[in-house]
Amino acid sequence: LQSGLTARLRQATFSSFCVSTANQTAFQMCQAYAERWPAPLGTSEGSGLLLWGIPGVGKTHLVAALANRILERGARVRFCNVTQWLNRLRDEMREEDPVEERMEDLGNADLLVLDDLGAQKSTAWALEKIYQVVNQRYEGLQPLVVTTNKNLNQLERGVGSRIFGRLLEICAPAEVKGEDWRMKIARERQLRATSDELTAVASCELRVSSEEQSERQRELRVTVSSVEFRV
């Protein structure tokens, strides 16, 4: 079973995640989930997580860290970006590949991560496939971890109450707050570039003024020597 974790996501760990007051609840829930693995089965104890929050706050990072930790324990983990998974499924249908096997693949996973739910095109076909997967986890009491950049109301409107209701029943929701990390990095890079530019300008001006100074010293020497000459 392929985990589906990309090279970038395999690098995501809990220790490379900067914890702040804005994200510490979600961080702790993910870390505790990984530590407690295998997840307690049964809906009342919650066998899954639902991380939601605006883009760039670290939802994918956290669930990838969780998936990596659980993979290390030898569990069969399947990490799916929902949009990519649906696109692949659609392509395979065209090729007359056995789609059911693909679906079973997800069903066989000890842990299924559905990353970025709600970002897909919500066609009737797409929603039916998502429903099948979520319902399979729900009925089988199988661990499921989901992320979305919608808030809970938007998610319910986006995927419908059949999917949303099941998700909420088996997944403990946690909002990941904080600032968009991608914007923060871009701003810091911009700041560094600006400060490099300022340093360059400053040293250039310093050079110019020292040139001016030596020019003035030369003039002074000329004046001094002409004075001496007159004396």
Ligand X SMILES: Nc1ncnc2c1ncn2[C@@H]1O[C@H](COP(=O)(O)OP(=O)(O)OP(=O)(O)O)[C@@H](O)[C@H]1O
Tokens coding 8: 């970038």
102, 43, 38, 132 alpha-carbon torsion, rounded to 10°:
0
Tokens of 219: 């003039």
Binding test (CB under 6 A) with ligand X, winner from 46, 56, 118, 143: 56
The span from the first CA to the last CA of the chain, in angstroms, equals 99
Residue 17 binds which of Mg ion, ligand X, none (CB < 5-8 A, kind-dependent)? ligand X
Query: Tokens standing for 2?
Result: 């392929």
Angle at which helix 24-36 crosses helix 59-72, to 10 degrees, equals 20
Q: Which stretch binds ligand X (CB under 6 A): 10-18, 70-78, 163-171, 189-197?
A: 10-18
Part of the chain binding ligand X (CB under 6 A), chosen from 51-59, 82-90, 122-130, 196-204: 51-59
C-beta closer to ligand X: residue 47 or 148 = 148
Residue 129's closest CA among 80, 59, 63? 80
CA distances to 67, 93, 150, 158, 187 from 109, in Å: 12, 22, 26, 26, 40
Instruction: Answer yes or no whether residue 59 interacts with ligand X by CB under 6 A.
Output: yes
Instruction: Determine if 189 is a binding residue for ligand X (CB under 6 A).
Output: no
Interface stretch with ligand X, choices 54-62, 86-94, 123-131, 219-227 (CB under 6 A):
54-62
User: What residues line the site for Mg ion (CB under 5 A)?
Assistant: 60
**Which of the listed partners (Mg ion, ligand X, none) does 181 bind, with a CB threshold of 5 to 8 Å by partner kind?**
ligand X
Least distance to ligand X, CB of residue 57, Å = 4
DSSP 53-111: -STTSSHHHHHHHHHHHHHHTT--EEEEEHHHHHHHHHHHHHTT--HHHHHHHHHH-SE
61 binds ligand X (CB under 6 A): yes
Q: Which of 64, 39, 7 is nearest to 137 (CA)?
A: 39
Applying CB under 6 A, does 81 fall inside the site for ligand X? no
Contacts with ligand X in 111-170 (CB under 6 A)? 116, 149
Candidate list 14, 17, 79, 138; residue touching ligand X; CB under 6 A: 17
CB 148, min distance to Mg ion, A = 9
Decide whether 57 or 155 has the Cβ nearer to ligand X.
Answer: 57
